[in-house]
């Protein structure tokens, strides 16, 4: 695509009518190309919503429990790793759709603290896949204007992965098209505990008084504090399981829940649109009467 900087601000003086006419034609063609470029840019920035969805009711923050990768692979006679790799492709598609449909925050449950008890070979593969995906997709992430934050207990992560996470977070911290939060070695209970520990240290150091502790203060210490909309409007869990599995326990207090039958690698644009349509048909009362 040609940059607008390509086009000169003025046309050099011509020494004959033929040259002047040719130059005028070139200028006209350049203007046409520039206009087409601007129209294409506006088209790409426009939210293209599926039929039935309302732009004013799009959730600001969507959380996803990406469940079913292993079962997806088993159904096809593949090793579990193939299912996780297919899950990465589904995540890339959801990131694209969130940007296109105007969702501000996407939080995905990639690896639970409870998953550390899985066979070492599977855990090692998942950590390797996460690191590889961050490296190979980084340039595309930057190009799409996605900000990445990784939340969870980092104490068990390798030094190389921690260095990579720091680099990715730094390189994307000013991006604003979508904030993608990836929960790795995370649990809702861990999140509340670490928030309480932080607050306890502040009380011990005399920074705050005991009476200062309230819901607002706790929320400021949770891992999701780094995003503009810390509480999800909608939680999606795939694979037909009907539980939240220790994910964002505090933050989900008033979140709308949606349980989808497809396994995560099969969860695509149609299924995501159905989840959003279900969300838009609900009344969110937050304890009041309407």
Residues with active-site annotation: 67
Q: Is 147 helix (H, G, I), strand (E, B) or coil?
A: strand
Torsion angle, alpha carbons of 11, 16, 19, 24, to 10:
50
Around 160, how many Cα atoms within 13 Å sit in the side-chain half-sphere? 7
Q: How many CA atoms lie within 13 A of 28 on its CB side?
A: 6
CA-angle at 231, arms to 98 and 150, nearest 5°: 65
| Sheet hosting strand 146-151, strand order edge to edge | 146-151, 178-186, 105-112, 61-65, 234-237, 256-259
* Calpha distance 112→245 (Å, rounded): 9
Integer-rounded Cα radius of gyration of the chain: 24
What phi and psi, each to the nearest 5 degrees, are found at residue 118? -65, 165
């Amino acid at each position: 695509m040609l940059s607008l900087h390509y086009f000169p601000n003025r046309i050099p003086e011509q020494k004959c009518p033929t040259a002047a006419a040719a130059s005028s034609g070139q200028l006209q063609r350049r203007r046409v190309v520039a206009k087409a470029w601007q129209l294409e840019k506006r088209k790409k920035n426009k939210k293209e919503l599926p039929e039935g969805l309302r732009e004013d009711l799009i959730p600001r923050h969507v959380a996803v429990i990406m469940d079913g990768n292993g079962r997806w692979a088993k159904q096809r006679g593949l090793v579990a790793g193939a299912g996780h790799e297919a899950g990465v492709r589904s995540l890339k598609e959801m990131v694209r759709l969130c940007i296109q449909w105007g969702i501000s925050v996407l939080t995905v449950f990639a690896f639970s603290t409870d998953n550390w008890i899985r066979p070492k070979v599977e855990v090692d593969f998942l950590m390797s896949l996460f690191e590889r995906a961050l490296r190979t997709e980084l340039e595309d992430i930057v190009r799409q204007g996605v900000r990445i934050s990784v939340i969870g207990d980092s104490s068990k992560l390798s030094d190389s992965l921690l260095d990579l996470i720091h680099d990715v977070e730094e390189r994307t911290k000013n991006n604003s098209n979508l904030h993608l939060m990836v929960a790795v070695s995370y649990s809702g209970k861990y999140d509340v505990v670490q928030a309480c520990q932080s607050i306890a240290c502040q009380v011990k150091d005399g920074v705050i008084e005991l009476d200062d502790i309230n819901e607002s203060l706790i929320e400021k210490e949770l891992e999701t504090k780094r995003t503009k909309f810390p509480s999800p409007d909608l939680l999606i869990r795939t694979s037909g399981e009907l539980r939240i599995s220790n994910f964002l326990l505090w933050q989900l207090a008033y979140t709308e829940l949606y349980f989808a039958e497809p396994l995560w690698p099969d969860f695509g644009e149609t299924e995501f649109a159905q989840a959003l349509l279900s969300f838009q048909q609900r009344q969110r009362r937050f304890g009041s009467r309407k």
